[in-house]
Amino acid sequence: MGLPKIDQPLFDLIVPSTGEKVQYRPFTVKEEKILLIAQESKDIDQIILAIKQIINNCVIGVNVDTMPIFDLEYIIICIRAKSVDNKVSFSVKDPDTEEEIALSIDINKIEITHNQDHNKEVVLNDDYYLMMRYPTVEGIKALIPEHEGESETEVIFRSMVQCIDCLVNKTTDEVLKFSDFTSEEIDEFVGQFTKETVTAMQKFFETVPRMKYSIPYKDNTGKEKTFTMEGIDTFFT
């Protein structure tokens, strides 16, 4: 007789970007090991692989490759709360006094923040607008320089362009998917963008929904301050 398979409890969560309800289970020793190895490696490829493996293993019916980063962050936090503890204690260094500040958060209270000025449509002119898509976990790789000497501006612009989903004709509603064109065709097209278009694309990224949590504290002088957690760093708290 073989060893029995241990059933895991299932929990519901709402995917922030879609409002869809999905089920997930806590991670096991196997997933915790994946998480720890990625955390210790500090390697972006290892971290991305770990995130994908854990969510694929623990969540039913989601496509990790196409999910926005803020969805993945939120799901990882939910899994961690059910797997380990919803209370997390850690310390940070105060930027002014350089003292170590002990903090604690309830990760069940972490939510996705939404900016009222956020818009996925970027107007090009009277005839066309771009429909943007949210950055995915694979899109993080776009922030890594492709070759030696590539400037920070080039890296940022390339990552922005990778988040263009399609071009829409306002009059005819014709939709041109960027995935149907070569990188050369796309480069030639985006080379026509005006400064106003690039600024509007930047606003899309600056206002994208994100997981954010602020913790008030006092330094050793009694001054009230706030420590804010957000973004990819929250994955491995």
Q: What is the pLDDT of residue 145?
A: 59
Token pair in block for residue 79: 């899994």
Q: What is the pLDDT of residue 237?
A: 47
Q: What is the pLDDT of residue 24?
A: 95
- Output b/e per residue, 55-85; b: 16+ Cβ within 10 A: beebbeebebeebbbbbbbbbbbbbbbbbee
- Nearest partner of 31 among 13, 50, 45, judged by Cα: 50
- Nearest partner of 99 among 234, 230, 222, judged by Cα: 222
Q: What is the pLDDT of residue 144?
A: 64
pLDDT along the chain (237 residues), means of 10: 78 92 91 82 79 90 89 88 83 89 85 91 95 84 64 79 94 95 93 93 92 87 87 51
Residue type, 20: E
Q: What is the pLDDT of residue 180?
A: 96
Q: What is the pLDDT of residue 99?
A: 92
Rounded Cα distance, 78 and 13, in Å: 8
